[in-house]
């Protein structure tokens, strides 16, 4: 297959040139994630000459709630946890976004994620807005009973903001279908009737959608396949590395092998990384992680650092962990042809410039990991209608949405001669701005 002639070109010469020294200085201190989100918005707005009044509205959440959550612990003490719910922009429809339980959660992280969810739903052309929630806690150090009490108490605090026509949460980092079930039950109790549709990512028995578990990874795999077609890259028999072996990363391993015929030669999690040039068997590796708690020391593998994994010579690199994994410090050493962001914010803005100028095709998180929210939207549709789809229908509709979105973003990158993240932002903010104008907000 020959490379496509419409591959996005480097940024126009009129743009300010990237200087590596400045990049290194800017990343000595980790940048605030909400500052990064606003930088991305500003960059895209400048390219298309967005109305300043619209831009100012888009730079801030429309509403947010800060809550203190009392939870009785197993030892009889009562501990106060702190949490947030941010509704960024609902011009296109009800807000949608996950709830994270994480010890390092901050309001600015939640704001940034709510902004990115707004752009994500717009890029996929789903009639939803963007929101996010979070609780500062360490779920790994909590018992199931403590987690249940925390989950229910959080919903009691933010429930007034929620509803199928207002804001529909979903699972995110360290939250699970079981946690979603507790939340849905608590909200239903508050309403006085079953109202399971207010939460997505639920177990199937409570109205969850078929294939929700692998949706984020499956959407990313569809994007990788389409990107490879546009670039003329053969994936079958080629290699991939996955940084982060949680839900999204482990499913990406499984689907990269099954759907693309690739070899996953390196993976990592919070406890270490491993490498095998012959590739890893997904089932065996998952069983090893279930027994040991990590992919580290898998039989037949050699250890490697997370930094070494990111710089492996592979066709596809899949960052599926946390923010800022690829910075300007290592972007110049990335050798992958395609970088597919299954994590939120794994690449810093300065690293974006490095990768783009080096000709590395990055599929931004706004697009690449949007399979999760897309299938969550399908779950909302099914809950509203009371008609539940078979797996084939979910796959077919996800395929349609993801394929159309990556082609639209690719075309915008070509048209404006920008990197794919800026192109995705352009597609998104145009759609949100149109809705705001039609509603008379500006």
Ranges for all domains in the chain classified under CATH 3.40.50.720: 1-60+210-371+390-442
Separation CA 418–CA 230 (nearest Å): 16
pLDDT at 27: 52
Report the C-alpha gap between 420 and 352 in whole angstroms: 9
Residue 213 has pLDDT above 80, yes or no: no
Residue-level pLDDT at 2: 38
Say what the pLDDT of residue 241 is.
Answer: 97
pLDDT tens digits for 38-87?
Answer: 999 999 999 999 999 999 999 999 999 999 999 999 999 999 999 999 99
Q: What angle do CA 140, 146, 150 make, to 5 degrees?
A: 100
pTM of the model: 0.88
pLDDT at 8 (0 to 100): 44
CATH 3.40.50.10860 spans which residues of the chain? 62-206
Angle between helices 107-123 and 391-416 (to 10 degrees): 90
d(Cα 118, Cα 99) in Å, to the nearest integer?
15
Please give the average per-residue pLDDT across 167-178, as a whole number.
92
Which tokens is 394 given?
């979910």
Model confidence at 250: pLDDT above 50: yes
pLDDT at 431 over 50: yes
How far, in Å, CA of 326 to CA of 315, rounded?
A: 16
Residue pLDDT, tens place only, 296-345: 999 999 999 989 999 999 999 999 987 778 888 899 999 999 999 999 88
Mean pLDDT confidence for 224-245: 96
Percent share of the chain, pLDDT over 70: 93
Sheet holding 63-72, edge to edge: 63-72, 78-89, 130-136, 95-102, 167-171
Q: What's the rounded Cα separation, in Å, for the pair 102 and 104?
A: 6
Pairing of strands 361-363, 63-72: unpaired
Buried (b) or exposed (e) across 334-355, using 16+ Cβ within 10 A? Answer: bebbbbbbbbbbbbbbbbbbbb
- Structural contact between residues 113 and 142, judged by C-beta atoms closer than 8 angstroms: no
Spatial distance between the Cα atoms of 17 and 363, rounded to a whole number of angstroms:
22
Res 349: pLDDT = 85
Residues annotated as catalytic are 132
- In total, the chain counts a number of residues equal to 442
Tell me: pLDDT of 24 over 80: no
Nearest C-alpha neighbor of 81 from the set 91, 71, 94: 71
Q: If you average pLDDT over every residue of the chain, what do you get? A: 91
Selected residue with higher pLDDT from 13 and 229? 229
344 CB-near residues (< 8 Å, 6+ apart) = 113, 116, 322, 323, 365, 369
The pairing of strands 130-136 and 95-102 is parallel
CATH number (3.40.50.1010, 1.20.120.160, 3.40.50.880, 3.40.50.720) of 1-60+210-371+390-442 reads 3.40.50.720
Mean pLDDT of 381-395: 90
- Count of CA atoms in the C-beta half-sphere (13 A) of 30: 11
pLDDT, mean of residues 385-395:
90
The pLDDT of residue 348: 87
| Type and span of the H or E element at 402 | helix 391-416
CA 215 – CA 58 distance, rounded (Å): 28
Higher-confidence position of 87 and 18: 87
Predicted confidence at residue 25, as pLDDT, reads 52
Given pLDDT bands bounded at 50, 70 and 90, which one contains residue 192?
A: very high
Structure confidence by residue, pLDDT tens digits, 135-155: 999 999 999 999 999 999 999
Sequence-distant (6+) residues with CB within 8 A of 209 are 200, 375, 376, 378, 379, 382, 388, 389, 394
Tell me the per-residue pLDDT of 88-132, one tens digit each, with 9 for 90 and over. 999 999 999 999 999 999 999 999 999 999 999 999 999 999 999
Query: Where does 62-206 sit in CATH, by number?
Result: 3.40.50.10860
Sequence-separated (6 or more) residues with CB below 8 Å from residue 17? none
* pLDDT score for 324: 74
CA 30 to chain centre: 20
Query: Is the model's pLDDT at 6 over the cut of 80?
Result: no
């Amino acid at each position: 297959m020959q490379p496509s002639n419409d591959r996005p070109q480097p940024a126009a010469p009129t743009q300010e040139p990237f200087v590596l020294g400045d990049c290194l200085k800017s990343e000595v201190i980790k940048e605030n994630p909400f500052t990064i989100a606003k930088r991305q918005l500003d960059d895209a707005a400048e390219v298309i000459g967005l109305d300043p009044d619209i831009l100012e509205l888009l730079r801030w959440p429309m509403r947010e709630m800060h809550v203190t959550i009392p939870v009785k612990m197993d030892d009889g003490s009562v501990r106060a946890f702190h949490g947030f719910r941010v509704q960024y922009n609902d011009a296109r429809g009800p807000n949608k976004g996950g709830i994270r339980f994480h010890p390092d959660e901050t309001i600015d992280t939640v704001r940034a994620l709510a902004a990115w969810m707004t752009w994500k739903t717009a890029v996929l052309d789903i009639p939803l807005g963007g929101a996010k929630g979070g609780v500062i806690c360490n779920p790994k150090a909590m018992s199931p009973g403590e987690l249940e009490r925390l989950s229910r108490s959080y919903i009691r605090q933010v429930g007034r903001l929620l509803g199928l026509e207002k804001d529909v949460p979903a699972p995110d980092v360290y939250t699970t279908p079981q946690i979603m079930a507790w939340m849905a039950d608590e909200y239903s109790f508050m309403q006085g009737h079953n109202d399971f549709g207010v939460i997505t990512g639920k177990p199937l028995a409570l109205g969850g959608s078929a294939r929700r578990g692998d949706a984020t990874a499956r959407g990313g795999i569809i994007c990788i396949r389409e990107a490879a077609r546009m670039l003329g890259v053969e994936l079958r028999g080629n290699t991939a590395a996955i940084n982060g072996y949680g839900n999204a990363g482990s499913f990406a391993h499984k689907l990269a092998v099954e759907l693309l015929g690739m070899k996953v030669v390196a993976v990592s999690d919070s406890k270490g990384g491993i490498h095998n040039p012959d590739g890893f068997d997904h089932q065996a590796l998952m069983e090893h992680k279930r027994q040991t708690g990590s992919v580290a020391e898998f039989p037949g593998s050699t250890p490697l650092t997370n930094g070494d994994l990111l710089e492996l010579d592979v066709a596809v690199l899949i960052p599926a962990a946390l923010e800022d994994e690829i910075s300007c410090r290592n972007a110049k050493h990335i050798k992958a042809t395609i970088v597919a962001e299954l994590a939120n914010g794994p690449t810093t803005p300065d690293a974006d410039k490095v990768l783009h100028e080096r000709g590395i095709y990055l599929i931004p998180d706004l697009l690449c990991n949007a399979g999760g929210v897309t299938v969550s939207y399908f779950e909302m549709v099914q809950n509203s209608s009371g008609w539940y789809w078979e797996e084939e229908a979910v796959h077919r509709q996800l395929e349609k949405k993801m394929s159309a979105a990556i082609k639209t973003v690719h075309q915008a990158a070509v048209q404006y001669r920008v990197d794919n993240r800026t192109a995705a932002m352009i597609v998104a903010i145009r759609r949100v701005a149109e809705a705001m104008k039609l509603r008379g907000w500006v």
